[in-house]
Structure 1
Amino acid sequence: MSTVHTSGAAGRHPNRTTGTVGGWEARLRSLTFEHWLWVSLTLVALGMRLVGLGDRALSHDESLHALYSWYITDAFKYSHDPMMHGPFLFHVNALMYLLFGASDFTARLFPALVGTATVASLWWFRGILGRRGALLAAVLLTISPSLLFHSRYIRNDIYVALCSLLWALGLIRYVQTGLQRWLYLLASSMLVALVSKENAFITGAIFGLFSLCGAGWGMWRTQGALRLAACRLADTAIVMGVLVAPFLVPFALILAGREPLPVDSDSQSTALVGAGLLGIIGLAGTIGFLRFLRPVWWDTSLTHRNLPILFAGFWFVALAFYTNLFSAVAGVQSGVVGSLGYWLGQQEVMRGGQPWFYYPYLALLYEFLPLALLAASVPLLARYALARPSQRRQSRPSDHEVPWLVPGFLLVWTIGSWAGYTVAGEKMPWLMVHLVLPTVLLGSWAASRWICTVSPDDKPGLVACALGGAGFACWLFAAGRTPFSGSDQEAVRETMQWLSLVVGGCGLLVPLAVGFVQGRPGHGRLLGMSAGLALGILTVHVAWNLAYVRYDSAREYLVYAHGTPDVKQVLADIDVVRRALPEGYEPIVMYDHEVSWPM
């Protein structure tokens, strides 16, 4: 249940921090088991993302990102090219080189930190997903093969993932509280997402669609909370639309029968002027609406005074990134017009040539647990939606309740992401990150409603659930083996391992089976939790193999244009030769065009 606060001061608490040693000791003593659980999970996520971070050879895209980041560190040279996505990655990687030196480890350090922050940021989703739901989502993102692998990979996608989370947090919390700070979080996270990678426009389209539809549906409602939520959703739609307006000029070019990315200088200048006009007209028109017309319908935190501040701050920072701190003015055109224009044109190319079922196929291989939670959430969502009318007839909901806000938003985000990325021409494995994220959130929200019905005092049932999960996992691992395939030593060992897993699984499932046969209350839910736990164990196994065992294998479906161990081996051999030479001599290595780039 989502609660909409009618006062802008909702959620404010007195500052208890004294700044003294005694104050910090008191705060540490006040930490609950839940706090320590989150701290432990964050540390586990950090360790999983840092261990062996520099062991894997750089892939093709990683080498591009690492090299062009080094150019900024070495000579402050950068020219934005939409083919290599946004400038944010290059600037933060350059900062890592400046602080810690250049290496394969430091090149991946910031993605690892952002991947950890993605897990930790779910702490602020406790009021959205519920305490158990937020913790479950954090666990799922910690062990997710897609997010773990791409938190150890120099790509933009993990940055967009964190920004999408914060973007969603700002939107929902603004609707719930009406506080201005959530609008600023929404705008800043949207900014970083857009200057990181252009697929953030898909996220923006989904969020904007939800805000517009929610505002249109609830604006004329008589119930106070629904109308207020609709007005605040309208605010979020206005902010997103006005800030992003200049980026949308490629759509105007398409409507005019032209290419979305102009190539000659005159067309580029015209497109840039058009982008500026879109921004100015959109801002001026909205300021007029906020100043003169909107007070007739609603009164919220967005005003004709703070919208220009948001717009100016957004575009000052965006242009600073695109122009390398205003040292390369060509970045204005390539960033404002080229970012979306280039990638709209690329959808017809269909790089990768993947079929329409590419993402479901990858999900079945790597992200089967979020997929299972999504499937399990469908009947719960249906029951949740159908139960509302009868509940309203029996007892009128509170004036502060907006029951559809969180499940509706997560459902639209999930469906929109799967539909948008499936329809898009370019399908790549790293884009799974953007499908897994909303799927995990929706599945965790639904699972938390299910888990809450299981009593924590049912210790025998919970123990049986844990043992049952381990038993199911044993069966899953046994299914991947081929017993009775021969009489040689390797075949006999395979058979014995299979028998051990099957028999052990049966033994671990006995307590759960006994309770289920006896018809003990809640054992159906415990059975489902056991199955989820088994899939979680299997997910950890898959993630471990992907990130730490087979990380250099191009046979993994979650990689593309992958590097191989040969690059690091050749560099190590060259280093051995260099060390063997007398002091002052440097080896001269001859190579041709076929190996120049990997080296």
Structure 2
Amino acid sequence: MSGSSAAGFAIRIQRSLSTERLFFCILILAAVLRFAFLDLKLFHHDEAIHAWFSYKLLTTGAYVYDPSFHGPLLYYVTAGMFALLGDSDLVGRIVPAFLGTLVVALVYPLYRLGYLDNRQALVAAFFLAISPNLVYFSRFLRNDIFILFLTFVLLLALILYLERGQARYAMIAAAAAGFGLSCKENMPIVLGIFGLYIIYLLWTEKVRLPLYWKRHLALGILVAAGIIVIFYSSFGVHPDRVLTFIPDAIAHWWEMHEQQRLGGPFYFYVLLLLLYELPILVLAIAGTVQFLIAGRKAANNAAHSMHEIIEISLQQIRGVLPAPPSFDKKEEFFRFCIVWMALSMAAYAYIGEKVPWLLIHQLLPAVFVAVYAMTEKKTVIAIVSSIFLVLALWHVAYVPADVNEPIMQVQNSEDIREVMALIDGSNTVAIASDRYWPLPWYYRGDRSANLSYFGKKIDEGSIAAGNYDLVIASDEESYPALPGYEKRTYNLNYWFSWYDNKDRVLQYYFLRDGKMGNMKIDVFVPERASA
């Protein structure tokens, strides 16, 4: 190959590996990881409840805000998807998967705005694309991926508003805030952190508000309030909830915080980061240290002598030199991300309710901190260490079995598939227990006709009189035996128990052999069927 042809080949390779093309490949990877085999696993306990409420909203029009199940946005969006595409596990997870993909896509505007260089943008997008927690909870019908997407939209809108001062960006920010507040009760944490940093920027005069900022603020409040009123009033059906949803939400979640129903140590999320997101955690710590060192060097370099300061000032006055910018926006962005990450981690460490899906709200800023000062060496480390993320991701997201992992809290057991096969082959089923989720979701509409939910244990005489083909009871409040039936025990759901494993954390980290908590059900099958 001649020198000119070799040079031309190298140029073609370089062009084919442009930032945009690489970013597009990462985006395709993110979409595949989120949409592939989307209904591989049964609905989680919470997913089944969310889908059931959405189905009831679609079929009966009934919805009233209950803080136990978070805000209304998810239910209206999911009901809309059910109306368009039918009600199923797959359809219920489409919007979360789509929003999870968009979270990766939104890195590109940050790059185009100059807050990330091409290497930082690609590594950040890659981490977001393959993060086990972000992929898992993008394949999950919960509010958190909605909040994460709206947080990112809010961030971009605020950046654009502070840069360009146009009202449309203020309205987008207001809409993101309004939808977020209509989605889940942790959105005020995001608004509080963002608001505090904007106050800091204004106080230090690093940014200035546009001329008509008061008008934009008033319009923004109207937009956000309008969205909130529409959703919490159930589109006007329950206007009284507009006045009560805030005190109800505060009362409920403060009680959960104090009760620590799903408690854990203050370092609970650090353990999850070590388990699933180790490369991001290590690089985020390194990025924070790098930022602090760079800041100290910059401060030392800025310590000019009085003579130099006077000389530079005189030159600027004479117009010999242009006035320097008030601040380096890239450095300020990373300072913000460090503050965002630290305050988010502190807030969720304090909150008594410790659940794995809240990690993603801490993970987004951590990814940006991780790509600070992304040298060639650091990039290689990030790419090589991503093997850890891929292995963890495959284990938790694509294995259709009862996996003993903290990320899967109260996941419905795959045993339920066998129980549902027994139900499908029965004409009459008695459910003599208050433990029956996810059955109302999987046996909805006409399919529920053969099921009788008693909500508690019933006497054996009632069972005999009902002549049921199948009887389901909790193993904790069951029957020693039922005449004419064979007793089988199945897992209903399962979870990783922190309290059962807290004294053997290091052993679990390497062996993944933790003690698993679960709920079981007893299923009584007619002896003729078992024979």
Tell whether 2:167 aligns with 1:318.
no
Paired with 2:383 and 2:433, the residues of 1 have a C-alpha distance of 50
Tell whether 2:351 aligns with 1:441.
no
**How many positions carry a matched residue from both structures?**
406
Paired with 1:343 and 1:595, the residues of 2 have a C-alpha distance of 24
CA, structure 1 residues 397+148, in 2 after alignment: closer, same or farther (shift >3 Å)? Answer: farther
Match 1:300 to one of 194, 198, 211: 211
1:119-158 alignment runs, 5 A limit: 119-126=104-111, 127-158=114-145
Higher helix share: 1
The aligned amino acid for 1:566 is D
Paired with 2:290 and 2:260, the residues of 1 have a C-alpha distance of 37
Match 1:598 to one of 431, 438, 441: 438
The aligned amino acid for 2:157 is G
Q: 5+ residue gaps in structure 1? A: 1-29, 219-225, 233-298, 455-524, 579-586
Percent identity of the aligned residues?
A: 28
Paired with 1:552 and 1:438, the residues of 2 have a C-alpha distance of 32
Q: Is the 8 A contact 1:552 1:563 kept in 2?
A: no
TM-score by length of 2: 0.72
Q: Secondary structure at the match of 1:590?
A: strand
> What do residues 55-97 of structure 1 show as CA deviations (whole Å, max 9, x unaligned)?
2111211111010000111111101111111111101010110
CA, structure 1 residues 154+334, in 2 after alignment: closer, same or farther (shift >3 Å)? Answer: farther
> Displacement of 1:552 after TM fit?
4.1
Match 1:540 to one of 368, 387, 390: 390
Q: Is the 8 A contact 1:172 1:406 kept in 2?
A: no
1:178-327 alignment runs, 5 A limit: 178-218=165-205, 226=206, 229=207, 231-232=208-209, 300-304=211-215, 306-327=216-237
Paired with 2:374 and 2:16, the residues of 1 have a C-alpha distance of 27
> Displacement of 1:594 after TM fit?
4.8
Partner residue in 2 for 1:333? 243
Paired with 1:432 and 1:49, the residues of 2 have a C-alpha distance of 18
The aligned amino acid for 1:214 is L
Tell whether 2:81 aligns with 1:96.
yes
Paired with 1:206 and 1:308, the residues of 2 have a C-alpha distance of 21
CA, structure 1 residues 348+554, in 2 after alignment: closer, same or farther (shift >3 Å)? Answer: farther
Q: 5+ residue gaps in structure 2? A: 1-14, 305-311, 313-321, 440-531
Higher strand share: 2
> Displacement of 1:539 after TM fit?
0.7
Q: Output the aligned Cα RMSD.
A: 2.2
Partner residue in 2 for 1:450? 374
Q: Secondary structure at the match of 2:204?
A: helix
> What do residues 262-289 of structure 1 show as CA deviations (whole Å, max 9, x unaligned)?
xxxxxxxxxxxxxxxxxxxxxxxxxxxx
Q: Secondary structure at the match of 1:137?
A: helix
Paired with 1:38 and 1:322, the residues of 2 have a C-alpha distance of 38
> Displacement of 1:574 after TM fit?
3.6
> Displacement of 1:595 after TM fit?
4.6
Q: Secondary structure at the match of 1:324?
A: coil
Tell whether 2:44 aligns with 1:59.
yes
CA, structure 1 residues 98+374, in 2 after alignment: closer, same or farther (shift >3 Å)? Answer: same
Partner residue in 2 for 1:399? 325
Paired with 1:114 and 1:144, the residues of 2 have a C-alpha distance of 15
Paired with 2:228 and 2:87, the residues of 1 have a C-alpha distance of 26
CA, structure 1 residues 529+399, in 2 after alignment: closer, same or farther (shift >3 Å)? Answer: closer
Match 2:269 to one of 346, 359, 362: 359
Tell whether 2:12 aligns with 1:85.
no
Paired with 2:100 and 2:423, the residues of 1 have a C-alpha distance of 34
> Displacement of 1:155 after TM fit?
0.6
> Displacement of 1:342 after TM fit?
2.6
Runs of 4+ in 1 over 3 A off after TM superposition: 30-33, 390-397, 400-404, 528-531, 572-575
